[in-house]
Structure 1
Amino acid sequence: MALATAILVVSLFTRDTMEQLIDVTYFLADRQDATIGFSEKRIKNVVEQVNRLPGVLAAEPFREVPVRIRYGNVERRVTISGRPADADLRRLIDVDLRPVVLPETGLAISSMLGHILGVGVGDTVEVDLLEGARRTVTIPIVATVEDYFGIRGMMDIEALRKLMREAPVVNSVNLSLDEKRKEDFYAAVKSMPTVGGVALQRVSLANFRKTVALLVTTMASIYTGLAAVIAFGVVYNNARISLSERARELASLRVLGFTRGEVLRILLLELAILTLVAQPPGWVMGYGLAWVMKTNLAGELMRVRLVVEHSTYVVATCVVVLAAIASAAVIRERIDKLDLVAVLKTRD
């Protein structure tokens, strides 16, 4: 019965963690309303030009450089993103949901990338720059960041500029927009020939919910339904076994003068105690299974946080309790139909 509760907890965990992932990614980390991408890198004063567009409340530069990062015989092709140290629209969030300030020198990497390469803070990696002079440099790892999408490196935008030995340039600009003047902003952007595209945060969130999140939550609903069926099967099977093992004793009690309600209360009291006692270990095992799922499903494309809401434990327990009540109703019908003579004649 505890395992039935655990299965429900781990099934509901998938939905909890997906909603948490959306909240962290789209509302705590990437808080920009739009991102303008340029067809080629532009000098940094383009940020001031973009800041003067109608409806723009704030603008922050963003620089990305494709690289090949290597440690020993393990390498990955990733992107190093450079952003201002005081970036507020597109922030780095650690596992405790606190903003991370990039160091002035050195490279910060995703925790998953560090796990793949086998490196940590203080180690030095080789980086092949796949843009500009295409040099190979060695950079110390100064921080690891627990992000949830992809694997990447991160640097202060000024440190990245020095590494590339180039003038201050940007690939894109993150924007905060005035909702009332978005149409004016779109019209102004269309007239800019250097703009390669505009990514809207709301559209990105809608697409994510439509594809990945919908798929995951649908699967979670199916798993939860199956877990509920399993929970009912476990509880009902336990009640049936108890009835089969104690049928002779229960019939004897009826013969001695006990009413049907009193006999039923004796049998169901054990079921109720077992159901309630099974909940705390079920919660613990459910949390452990969620940790196993979170750990084993973590990959280069996406990771999730270990988030099990209090409501998840409540729902799992309620489902098991309802399964116990349904089982009790079935058992009551069987006790009412109990043939006392036939049971008492049964050999042990």
Structure 2
Amino acid sequence: QIARLPGILAAEPFREVPVRIRNGNIDRRIMISGRPRDADLNRIIDTDLHPVVLPEAGLALSSWLVHILGTQVGDFVEIDLLEGRRRTVSLPVTALVEDYFGIQGMMHFDALARLMREAPAVNSVSVSLDANERDRFYDAIKSMPTVSGVALQRVSLANFRDALAVLVTTMANIYIGLAAVIAFGVVYNSARISLSERARELASLRVLGFTRGEVLRILLLELAVLTLLAQPPGWAIGYGLAWTVQTKMAGELMRTRLVVEHSTYVLASAMVIAAALFSALVVRRRINQLDLVTVLKTRD
């Protein structure tokens, strides 16, 4: 009936059943979703991001749920059905599913019907909708009392991205500002220490006829080499920190996949190099103000 509504390009029915899944003394209340084998509108992927074909028997679980329960593929888990004929059954875990919102189980549509000991039934439908026919679709849905609600994936995704963009942008700006200040502080402090330790030698070079530019080049060459050599370890440490944050923030409600683009490393290195250049300008000013007589009179 849903597939015949105006604007519907494709429709995939599925059923969700509330259950309590248990392994030993660890249990969680989840939804088991019965889906067709060739589902395309709401595709199921494994931990390697490959499509999963639901088996005729057994249960596919979220990888995070498997982590919580302490099970693996091939183990049996106990299922307390909380709908229909309530009973407890034991099912094997046949596949791991990679999802990023909530925890759930999935079964073949017919297998779920057999588990419930009922005829195949649906309580949800995924549809592909022609945007030009949206108004006619809404009018048709309003006249169907059996439809309790409609959720538009595109709108939900846009709202989620808008809400998340504010949070991520704010946090990113704060982190970038702190990183810039720390980078400048570290580089400038290193340059100041080097200048203080070698002030007498640099002043001696000035007395021997070296120009300010040549003296500055000697001091900053060391700073440039240290800055460039620090980039690869900094990339590795930054990736490790990102992985730690991503791991610690993962939970039953939401999880994220760690993706670090090449532009991130470029931006980080550019910030450090910019801080080094700014520090070089400050150090240059101090070298230009260097009092040769006072420095040479200073005892070691």
Partner amino acid, structure 2, of 1:228: A
Deviations 1:63-104 (A, max 9, x none): 100100000011011111111110000011234332222222
What is the DSSP-based 3-state SS (H/G/I as helix, E as strand, rest coil) of the residue aligned with 1:100? coil
Match of 2:272 in 1: 320
Contact 2:47-2:96 within 8 A present in 1 as well: no
- Which residues in structure 2 correspond to 1:145-156 (within 5 Å)? 145-156=97-108
Match of 1:264 in 2: 216
Deviations 1:96-141 (A, max 9, x none): 3322222221001111111111111111111100000111111111
Partner amino acid, structure 2, of 1:188: A
> What displacement does 1:248 show?
1.0
> What displacement does 1:334 show?
0.7
> What displacement does 1:306 show?
1.9
- Which residues in structure 2 correspond to 1:74-223 (within 5 Å)? 74-223=26-175
Does residue 206 of structure 2 align to residue 254 of structure 1?
yes
- Which residues in structure 2 correspond to 1:204-243 (within 5 Å)? 204-243=156-195
Deviations 1:18-46 (A, max 9, x none): xxxxxxxxxxxxxxxxxxxxxxxxxxxxx
Partner amino acid, structure 2, of 1:169: A
User: Which structure 2 residue ranges, 5 or more long, are not aligned?
Assistant: none
Give the whole-Å Cα distance in 1 for the aligned partners of 2:17 and 2:180. 49
Give the whole-Å Cα distance in 2 for the aligned partners of 1:184 and 1:212. 32
Question: TM-score, normalised to structure 1's length?
Answer: 0.84
Partner amino acid, structure 1, of 2:277: I
Which of the pair is proportionally richer in strand?
Answer: 1
Match of 1:244 in 2: 196
Match of 1:334 in 2: 286
> What displacement does 1:304 show?
1.1
Give the whole-Å Cα distance in 2 for the aligned partners of 1:61 and 1:198. 14
- Range moving further from structure 2, 97-106 or 302-311: 97-106
Give the whole-Å Cα distance in 2 for the aligned partners of 1:264 and 1:249. 12
Does residue 283 of structure 2 align to residue 343 of structure 1?
no
The counterpart of 1:72, out of the listed 24, 36, 39, is 24
Give the whole-Å Cα distance in 2 for the aligned partners of 1:227 and 1:159. 54
Q: Once the two structures are aligned, what percentage of the paired residues are identical?
A: 75
Q: RCO higher in 1 or 2 (8 Å CA, sep ≥ 6)?
A: 1
Question: TM-score, normalised to structure 2's length?
Answer: 0.97
Give the whole-Å Cα distance in 2 for the aligned partners of 1:95 and 1:125. 20
What is the DSSP-based 3-state SS (H/G/I as helix, E as strand, rest coil) of the residue aligned with 1:232? helix
Q: Would you say how many aligned residue pairs link Structure 1 and Structure 2?
A: 300
Partner amino acid, structure 2, of 1:193: P
What is the DSSP-based 3-state SS (H/G/I as helix, E as strand, rest coil) of the residue aligned with 1:154? strand
Partner amino acid, structure 1, of 2:34: G
Give the whole-Å Cα distance in 2 for the aligned partners of 1:310 and 1:319. 15
Contact 2:49-2:98 within 8 A present in 1 as well: no
Larger radius of gyration: 2
> What displacement does 1:213 show?
4.1
